[in-house]
Amino acid sequence: MNRRTFIGTSIAAAVAASQPEWTAETHHIDRVGLQLYTVRDSLKQDFEGTIAKVAQVGYKEVEFAGYFGKSPQEVRKILDSNKVISPSEHVSYDIVQNKWPETLEAAYVIGQKFIVCPWVDVSQRKEPDGWKRAAETFNRAGEAAQKAGIQFAYHNHAFEFEPSEVLGGKLPYDFLLAETDPKLVTMELDLCWITVGGQDPVKYFERDPGRFPLVHVKDWTTKGPGGSDYGGATGESRKPGHMTDVGQGEIDWKRIFAQSGKAGVQHYFVENDEPKSAFEDIKISYAYLTKLTF
């Protein structure tokens, strides 16, 4: 067993021992979370009311992608009043580089345990050392975060699963896994985008056990009219189809979630990048996931 495998296995064991969502007895998700990007339009208009509506659906956890002018103290108060917690947030690569100390401080106030970077700009991805610089940035951010009691993570789209010319044909996702310290940089695996990218999440769980404490749960279907290009998230070659509510598409959730213990999953966040009706959509996904056994 090499060092990387040993570290990953140790993390998996530690996470599994402390993880309430995954037990041999229940085989279901106790706390379904929501990535609030799904209801972003509503948040812009009524931040507090939107959090209340999300809580009323039944969601116990939320992941932020911006606070729309609210201070960390205001956000924490709104969460507490609705009996919702926020284990994580998404921040831009620029913030990771230039505003990291204050971001860590804000996360502490809100009660977050993870901070996730969800994107590396196209221009940097095309530079000869672009992915290398990203890995170095993530390692530094992860080290500073751990000193503050917070874990850094990276969230993928589909383009990380396309061979990169600047990496000699390697997959950027594989490069990041290899070049970042698993103790400092964990992964929030978007289970839809990895599927669209033509890869099997279960194989990654087996190869890097314990490295995936967070997952995004959204579905993909090849039926009906196609969606947009999703802001370049799919890369140059994309699997035909479009996003849909969880349980309405073609992703085999039972098979994937059966390996949650090995993956180290602690938090499951529903997301839909282009919902038809945001609150109806999150109700459908919530109902499916709370009834799902695996």
What is the DSSP secondary structure assignment for residue 162, as one 8-state letter? S
Task: Please report the pLDDT score of residue 26 as a whole number.
Answer: 61
Task: Please report the pLDDT score of residue 237 as a whole number.
Answer: 58
For residues 261-287, give the mean pLDDT: 96
In a domain, 137, yes or no: yes
Cα gap 87→107, rounded to integer Å: 9
Confidence of residue 14 (pLDDT cuts 50, 70, 90): very low
- Over the chain, what is the mean pLDDT? 91
Backbone angles phi, psi at 175, to 5 degrees: -60, -45
In a domain, 193, yes or no: yes
CATH of the domain at 220: 3.20.20.150
Task: Look up residue 207 and give its amino acid.
Answer: R
In a domain, 151, yes or no: yes
With a CB cutoff of 8 Å and minimum separation 6, the contacts of 223 are 241
Q: Percent of the chain beyond pLDDT 90?
A: 83
Rg (CA), the chain: 18
β-partners of residue 155 are: 188
In a domain, 231, yes or no: yes
Residue of higher predicted confidence among 16 and 123: 123
User: Coil, strand or helix: which one is 34?
Assistant: strand
The token pair at 75 is 């956000």
In a domain, 159, yes or no: yes
Segment 127-183, tens digit of pLDDT: 999 999 999 999 999 999 999 999 999 999 999 999 999 999 999 999 999 999 999
User: Coil, strand or helix: which one is 86?
Assistant: strand
Segment 40-76, tens digit of pLDDT: 999 999 999 999 999 999 999 999 999 999 999 999 9
Of the candidates 3, 43, 45, the residue with the CA atom closest to the CA atom of residue 182: 3
* Number of domains present in the structure of the chain: 1
Q: Percent of the chain beyond pLDDT 70?
A: 88
**Residue with token string 């940089």:** 185
Query: How is 210-241 classified by DSSP, letter by letter?
Result: T--SEEEE-EEESSSS----GGGTT-SS--S-
With a CB cutoff of 8 Å and minimum separation 6, the contacts of 215 are 188, 189, 190, 191, 263, 265, 267, 268, 269
Instruction: Say which range, 7-11, 227-231, 273-277, has the weakest mean pLDDT.
Output: 7-11
Q: How many residues are recorded in the chain?
A: 294
Task: Please report the pLDDT score of residue 285 as a whole number.
Answer: 98
In a domain, 23, yes or no: no
In a domain, 24, yes or no: no
For the cut 70, the answer to whether the pLDDT of residue 10 exceeds it is no
Confidence of residue 13 (pLDDT cuts 50, 70, 90): very low
Segment 221-262, tens digit of pLDDT: 988 776 667 778 887 656 788 999 999 999 999 999 999 999
pTM over 0.85: yes
Cα gap 253→157, rounded to integer Å: 18
Task: Please report the pLDDT score of residue 239 as a whole number.
Answer: 73
Confidence of residue 22 (pLDDT cuts 50, 70, 90): very low
Task: Please report the pLDDT score of residue 17 as a whole number.
Answer: 45
Show the domain range for 84.
3-18+29-291
